[in-house]
Structure 1
Amino acid sequence: MHGTPAHRTWRHRARTTSAVLAATAMGLAIVPTLSTTAQAETTATAVSVPGTFNSEVGCSGDWAPHCAQAQLTARTDGSGAWSKTLSLPAGSHAYKAALNNSWADNYGANGQYYGANISLQVPAGGKNVTFVYDPVTHWIADDVNKKIVTAGGSFQSEIGCAADWAPDCLKSWLQDIDGDGIYTWSTNAIPAGTHTVKAAIGQSWTESYGQGGSPTGADIGFTVPENGSNVDFRYNSTTHVLTVQTEQPPGPALDGTLGALYTPTKTTFRIWSPDSSQVSVTVGGTTHTLQPADVNGYTGVYQAVVPGNWKNHAYQFRVGNNTVRDPYARMVKPGSTEGIVMDVDAIEPTGGWAPRPAITKREDAVIYEMNVRNFTIDASSGVDSAKRGKFAGLTQTGTTSNGAKTGIDHLKELGVTHVQLLPSYDFNSTVPNWGYDPLNYNVPEEQFSQFTAPEDRVREFQNMVNEYHKNGIRVLMDVVYNHTASKDVFQNITGKYYHETQLSGTGNSIDDGNPMVSRMILDSLKYWVDTYNLDGFRFDLIGVHQYNNVDQWAKYLQSTFPDRTLQIHGEPWSGGVDDPLQAQKVRYGTTPALAGGHVGVFNGTYRDAIKGGTRDQLLGYMGGSSSNASSIALGMRGSPLTTKSTSPLADPWAPAFAYDPEQTINYVSAHDDLNIWDKITYSGVTGGPTGRAGQMSRFAAGMVLTSQGIPFFHEGDEFLHSKVVNGDYEAAKNSYESGDNVNAIQWSEKTANNATFRYYKDAIALRKNTPALRLSTWDAVNAQMATTTTTNGSIVTSAISSNAATPTSHDTVVVYNPTSSASNITLPAGSWKKVLGTNGATDSTSTSADPLAVTVFKKS
């Protein structure tokens, strides 16, 4: 083998042509160097690969640009490229590309004009080495150092190749000019439409790669939106992943959200993928590669705009090698991770939207919590069999049980202003189950639907909300953004959806500390208000969320929908675990900072003061205890801050936390734990519905309905519904997955316990007709409400003025008497009537406060 020294260099182009020729003739192969900025544009009529191996292939010497055996052949595939395969012996070699049989124009490493020699190590035994030269980029490559990568696909004949799926057509040749292992090719010659491609290596299909960089991977789909659009191909020689990025036309408005965004002529598919660029969507049997998209308000988003009308078609996102669900899906194919493209803007309830029931202020609310299935699944509901346990069953009118109104007619008779639905979006468990295991946050639960068609399911939920509105009742929904059914729901998109610390007690807590997760929650809330006309939300374990985020969500919703008077509240605790970031989370102590967004929290402190523990046999104030009268007095006043301020408190569990009465949700019973009637009987209270036990339940409800703040109670409390079957209190303590025999409302209980129902009805009516029970500011409570306890510390009395102009002219007196004896009350001067007592509404001039009861006096 003939060669030149390993340290050979190329000198300045300033040498004369005669000097170069002389040096070459002497066999020194001294080739001038020149900056690429001075590169001449020369038309190549011949291309050779002079190098240290020339003599081995039949040339008279090495470094011979004019040697016939070193000449490449012009390709006939329309690419303009030149190539040749030479049989080279083993060993270390070097070469360059020379044009037109001389050194006048030559190219070395990285396609550089007068660039460095290209080293070539041929393995033992020798090898056929293919050289390829591109006259446009001037990249000279061999298939030992580099891969000859082509994009073989369905579009090749349309760009000038002899056929499609032609791996040997260099019209679609990807090059690694800078040597970083990434091969690229860009073109604007692929016509508009949907195409497929794979990466072919070595100008054949012997080695090739499809989706996910797999040798057996499916074809990679991509869509060119219009003729002349730029398309960029990128092959990673380490991962073997081929990505295709097309120049995208504008999708929906830049303030659009993610998911499948429909128009009749195209659908834009967007998903957040902060960890992987291998993102695709399959729709209509074709897979499309998503590309990075700059969407206002979002980061790490990938997008594909797919032409055509894809309404009601299924689609499947894929990230890396995993199929993943769309966190923004508006509808899904049940039992799968496939979304459904929806034109939700074109769907509205039958007959159009009805006006929402008017509400002056949030303290006017009386909230009734219920489960879609539980409320009507029993035949005693009188609901049509096909509608029982369904959204449609919630609003069927004219239903009765033993002559008593049931269903929505019952709620109207009771007088509630809001229903709060337990989770009604798509969850993982099968009913009967409360659904606190979310899968798809924006999809109505199919088990509550009568329909399978996507549009019908959307309209059915809208109809349910609309019918409640027509009947004077607003609709809230329980949302569980603090965790998912399992980490599998979002984990394969990115682990950034989840907390490292499991705060919900379920092992898959959502981390709204990530801005994109927080944005997802906000977008979901907005979607439900906008599409389904919901009137607010109850947040499961709102204490998992950062209070600054909750404040942002709430303020955005309240300002975006200023006419709605949206009701927003949640549980200010996590799932029974220590939170290292507790100071940043929603707690009683951070509730004042949420006043601007009108966010309230469940007042567990007041609940426990009234009834004792949630699952034990200890009774609180309702059982006659006087030790916590001061806590009762505070809760009766709406748990107001000691000093008015929106700053977070030092104590996260401060019992005096409300900047505004609307921030305390007062309750003694909810879906969790023992309901009020089972708590009373579990604690050993005797007498049944007509005795002390029944009286105690009315006392507890009366306190909730006459305290400042927002009253809340659970379905069936108003007629002593029990979840205890065959004496099993343990199941009743946490009946989320118990059968209908435990959770379903038995409407015969309404007639059996009608006295309790009448009490609730009377107390709700009194609250609505008594402004003093619905004060709406901290200042009003502070100035217009005087609360005292008796000398023995048991009886709590509040005198209230409903007129801010005369704050000490009290017109309403509320007395809580936990003792077993009546107590005579000294009322302010004037004519008074007793309007609420042990059994409900009354009309008496008596000044006696009934035992174990709430008594209300009003100035007449």
Structure 2
Amino acid sequence: MRTPLKEALLLGTRRRLRRHPAATPAAALLAATALGLALAPALTAPAQAAAPTSVSVPGTFNSEIGCAGDWSTDCSQAQLTARTDGSGAWSKTYSLPAGNYAYKAAINKSWTENYGAKAQPYGADIPLQVPAGGRSVTFVYDPVTHWITDDVNSKIVTAGGSFQSEIGCSSDWAPDCLKSWLKDIDGDGTYTWSTEAIPAGTYSVKAAVGQSWDESYGQGGSPTGANISFTVPQAGSTVDFRYNSATHVLDVQTEEPPGPALDGTLGALYTPTQTTFRIWSPDNSRVSVTVGGQTHTLQPADVTGYTDVYQAVVQGNWTNQPYQFRVGNNTVRDPYARMVKPGTTEGIVMDVASIKPTGGWAPAPPIVKREDAVIYEMNVRNFTIDPSSGVDSTKRGKFAGLTQTGTTHNGVKTGIDHLKELGVTHVQLLPSFDFNSTVPNWGYDPLNFNVPEEQFSQFAAPEDRVREFQNMVNEYHKNGIRVIMDVVYNHTAHKDVLQNITGKYYHENQLSGVGNSIDDGNPMVSRMILDSLAYWVDTYNIDGYRFDLLGVHQYKNVDQWAKYLQSTFPDRTLQIHGEPWSGGVDDPKQAEKVRYGTTPAIAGGHVGVFNGSYRDAIKGGTRDQILGYMGGSSSNASSIALGMRGSPLAVKSTSPLSDPWAPAFAYDPEQTINYVSAHDDLNLWDKITYSGVTGGPTGRAGQMNRFAAGMVLTSQGIPFFHEGDEFLHSKVVNGDYETAKNSYEAGDNVNAIQWGEKTANAATFRYYKDAIALRKATPALRLSSWDAVKAQMSTTTDASVVVSAISSSASAPIAHDTIVVYNPTSSPYTVNLPSGNWKKVLDANGATDTIGNTAGSLAVTVFKKS
């Protein structure tokens, strides 16, 4: 069982984002802060990096190729040439005399952006030893990964084959098309390339070295080897190419998107005449199930999409009856159980297909695009357990209490009516599937992934508990609100949950920080997670998922899970996001996991991540007394400008970035979840007061809360905030900030929402309500693509003030109709508005309808063209 100490350590550390920033020269810092403000006739100087207009190779050989001196970034002879093969790469070949040299890649004829060894920004010089007699040296640069290399230190390896025209090359069998370029960025001698662009079919390939067939390798790594054949099973399948430079073997692997997950899965599969019991047991063939007092031996079964499955078909109608699996000498739980007998490892046979919410399913509220979402994080118990919620005493802290309408406190709306008044589109429920700890607790210690938590239920009967959860989701839908589940697939409450089935469920490294990390690198574990995700959508009509410690999982698996869900439920517009970090530990396979740097690669499944970089830029640390931009900091205005734009990639691509913690990571604005407060650490109000900000709710402290929230609600991406932030909820009791920093197991006196705070801080609530309404009414605040942000949004910084001019029209991208100003200073700021009739529609106090061009201090100000 997890100990309180372990839990405290986990929740105190696991969400601290691990960063590895590169040093930035003074010149670059000056460039980032000295952007001029030019608001008439149009705003210019975008804060994000653009695609390179030139790439050079400054180095100690520059004088040998005709430059006036070495290390010349702007010498014409040192400029590479942009490729015309559609790869986006740059290259050039030089004839160099023998000697020892060094070089780097410089972007746009300046040292402001440069890359050295292993694609690192401001990285080490790359050594180059040209042998006696000299030779031609080809340099190649990839603007996506920023890898700069040469054909002396490494090889220029391409996958030449019959598929190349399908991915954009001018012809097949084109060794000089770098669309299929394999790279060895870490220098270990293995060159790799991965793509999902090859259509279904059977193809042939060889490894070409040096952009020609003069050196090439086929089957077995032989220069005379036959073509290597591979099959792409269906569109969207991932194809991985791996070339070993020592053996010359080119290995091609295809990863088929997972097949149907809702039929023929594992667990207890019910029909009125028989139930099929299945479990994965890769290590032990002695498997049985006991049901109705009889024990049945399971036999190996061939189940499509699964391996090492054992099965028994038991005749009779077993609905609502308990069953117990046994592997070897151990009683074990069913990882696929749809219901369990609380406190045991027994599952309950369920006829879930026959269970529907009372009155039948209502349609989910429509949503056009994910950037339209406004997400409200809440805990089932915290939201209604206090009598001030107005919820019936039998429903407080329960699923049913979340959707009881007509509740008030002193005449002010509470509960679901409060959420409707506020204007949120989604609620995000802290873990609601079966967990080990008792409430009050946050539930980040799962036992059974497919079972609603019984402590949040009013009922004991299995069917009633299923229907209760369905009714909760259904009532939210009827009231115009979608439901996101916070899911914890990265670890279990303890290893005894699954290890007696097989240790293969668990990772060799403790990536979650509590000693029982789930290993989705095992295909059957990955499949279990996918099946669970699909089950909740299919049975409970869930609208999306927030993944706890998504960074523990392999990004390719996450991509597959998401793509399967989006394609299987195409009408649902599922919202999927998570934390792109692990549990505060080093991961030896970090490059394979979800990080900011791999977020572009999961864009196809519409997966987003929490933007901790933007969070920290706005508020400072999560549990310290250091204030960021909201406290008046002028040093991070460029970071604010980047986050305001939705943290877009410098170059649009779905390839992973070389820097796992790159702050410019979003292929699409929907991939950044913008926030300043969540269940972990100090919430927004307590962070402000802990930092010593005075003035109370009506003074500077209250205004700082509104300023931070205003930035979240006016930035590109998806806004997210935590329950109670909208009326300054505090978890500090009797001055105890230490408990407030990690309140996962604190009592209701700390965590429960006190609805009197809404009345006491009505002005703050009104601001949140107004800012949400403005976001919904302003298309310019909800741009839905990287291209739209680049074309329709112009951002500048003036010292610490950040200004964005935005057009809501793709057909008139520079006809800006919305201007957003972030002013963290103590003085008003005068904005040079473009020509036309402009009105101020949001200021420090909320909605307004005034004329003028002044942006108040410590405020988000929005102007709209009328």
TM-score by length of 2: 0.70
Contact 1:314 1:340 in 2 (8 A): yes
**Structure-1 residue corresponding to 2:732:** 724
Taking only the aligned residue pairs, the percentage that are identical comes to 87
Q: How does 1:820-839 map to 2 (within 5 A)?
A: 820-839=826-845
Counterpart for residue 852 of structure 1: 858
Give, in whole Å, the separation in 1 of the partners of 2:744 and 2:858: 32
Distance (Å, rounded) in 1 between the aligned partners of 2:752 and 2:765: 18
- Aligned counterpart for 2:457 among listed residues 449, 467, 485: 449
For residue 537 of structure 1, the aligned residue among 541, 545, 549 is 545
SS in 1 for 2:394: helix
Structure 1: which amino acid aligns with 2:733?
V
Over 3 Å counting, the alpha-carbon distance change for 1:674 and 1:607 in structure 2 is: same
The 8 Å contact of residues 261 and 534 in structure 2, kept in 1 or not, is answered as no
Q: Which residue of 2 aligns with 1:781?
A: 789
Alpha-carbon distance change, 683 to 721 in structure 1, aligned in 2, over 3 angstroms? same
Q: Does structure 2 retain, via aligned residues, the 8 Å contact 1:254–1:295?
A: no
CA distance in 2, matches of 1:743, 1:253: 38
Map 1:307-706 onto structure 2 (within 5 A).
Answer: 307-706=315-714
What residue number does 2:761 align with? 753
**Alignment correspondent of 2:723:** 715
- For residues 354-409 of structure 1, give each alpha carbon's deviation from its aligned partner in whole angstroms, at most 9, with x where no partner exists: 01100000000000000000000000000000000000000000000111100000
1:819 pairs, out of 794, 817, 825, with: 825
Q: Does 2:803 align with 1:797?
A: yes
Aligned mates of 1:404, 1:850 — CA distance in 2: 30
Q: Secondary structure at the match of 1:551?
A: helix
Give runs of aligned pairs for residues 282-321 of structure 1, distance below 5 A: 282-321=290-329
Q: Which residue is equivalent to 1:111?
A: none
Q: Structure 1 residues 404 and 267 mapped into 2: Cα distance closer, same or farther (>3 Å)?
A: same
Which sections of structure 1, spanning at least 5 residues, go unmatched? 1-251
Match for 2:772 among 761, 764, 771? 764
* Corresponding residue SS for 1:755: helix
Larger of the two Rg values belongs to structure: 1
Contact 2:511-2:552 at 8 Å conserved across structures: yes
Q: Distance in 2 between matches of 1:510 and 1:789?
A: 44
* Aligned-residue RMSD, C-alpha: 0.9
| Whole-angstrom distance in 2 between the partners of 1:445 and 1:846 | 54
SS of the equivalent of 2:474 reads helix
SS in 2 for 1:387: coil
Match status 1:843 vs 2:856: no
What's the CA shift for 1:253? 11
| Higher RCO (C-alpha under 8 Å, 6+ residues apart) | 2
Cα distance in 2 between the residues matched to 1:271 and 1:352 = 32
Is the 1:254–1:296 Cα contact (8 Å) retained in structure 2?
no
Q: Which amino acid aligns with 1:754?
A: A
C-alpha separation in 2, matches of 1:594 and 1:673: 28
1: distance between equivalents of 2:350 and 2:590? 39
Which residue type is aligned with residue 726 of structure 1?
N
Contact 1:255-1:297 within 8 A present in 2 as well: no
In structure 2, C-alpha distance between the alignment counterparts of 1:716 and 1:403, rounded to whole Å: 18
Question: Would the aligned equivalents of 1:292 and 1:303 in 2 still touch at CA under 8 Å?
Answer: yes
Q: Which digits, 9 at most, give the CA deviation of each residue in 1:532-583, with x for residues without a partner?
A: 0000000000000000000000000000000000000000000000000000
- Could you tell me whether the CA contact under 8 Å between 1:558 and 1:566 is conserved in 2? yes
Structure 2 counterpart of 1:503, which letter? L
What is the alpha-carbon distance in structure 2 between the residues aligned to residue 807 and residue 495 of structure 1?
56
Preserved contact between residue 425 and residue 443 of structure 1 (Cα < 8 Å): yes
Structure 2 Cα separation of the partners of residues 714 and 671 of structure 1:
7
Aligned counterparts of 1:372 and 1:337: Cα–Cα separation in 2 = 25
Question: Quick one: distance in 2 between partners of 1:699 and 1:350?
Answer: 43
Q: SS where residue 385 of structure 1 aligns?
A: coil
SS of aligned partner of 1:386:
coil
The letter of the residue matching 2:553 is H
Deviation at 1:254, TM superposition (A): 10
CA distance in 2, matches of 1:629, 1:449: 47
Kept after mapping to 2: 8 A contact 1:799/1:814:
yes
Deviation readout 1:759-779 (Å, 9 max, x if unpaired): 000000000000000000000
Conservation of the 8 A alpha-carbon contact between 1:255 and 1:296: no
Shift of 1:734: 0.7
1:256 CA displacement:
1.0
Normalised by the length of structure 1, the TM-score is 0.70
Residue 467 of structure 1 aligns with an amino acid whose one-letter code is E
Structure 2 alignment gaps of length 5 or more? 1-259
| Distance in 1 separating the partners of 2:679 and 2:542 | 21
Q: For residue 398 of structure 1, what is the amino acid of its counterpart?
A: G
What per-residue deviation string (whole Å, max 9, x for no partner) do you get for residues 615-645 of structure 1?
A: 1000000000000000000000000000000
Please name the residue that 2:98 is paired with. none
Per-residue displacement from partner, 1:815-852 (whole Å, max 9, x unpaired)?
Answer: 00000011110111100000000000000012110100
**Aligned-partner Cα distance in 2 for 1:844–1:278:** 77
Q: Indicate conservation of the 8 Å contact 2:262/2:531, yes or no.
A: no
User: What SS is found at the alignment partner of 1:565?
Assistant: coil
SS class of match (1:726): coil
Give the secondary structure class of the aligned counterpart of 1:606.
Answer: helix
**1:589 is aligned with what amino acid?**
G
Letter in 2 for 1:511: D
Confirm or deny: 8 A CA contact 1:412 1:471 kept in the other structure: yes
- Matched to 1:812, the amino acid is T
Amino acid of the structure 1 residue aligned with 2:299 = Q
Q: Report how many residues are paired.
A: 607
- Output one character per residue of 1:394-447: Cα deviation in whole Å (capped at 9) or x when no partner: 000000011110000000000000000000000000000000000000000000
> What does 1:171-190 align with in structure 2 at a 5 Å threshold?
none
The structure 1 segments of at least 4 consecutive aligned residues displaced by more than 2 Å after TM superposition are 252-255
* From 789, 804, 812, the counterpart of 1:806: 812
Q: Is the 8 A contact 2:261 2:530 kept in 1?
A: no
Task: Give the Cα separation in 2 of the matches to 1:363 and 1:325.
Answer: 40
- Residue 507 of structure 1 and its aligned partner are, at CA, apart by 0.6
Counterpart amino acid of residue 644 in structure 1: K
State the alpha-carbon separation in 2 of the partners of residues 670 and 447 from structure 1. 23
- Take 2:710 and 2:261, find their aligned partners in 1: how far apart are those partners? 51
* Kept in 2: contact 1:819–1:851 (CA 8 A): yes
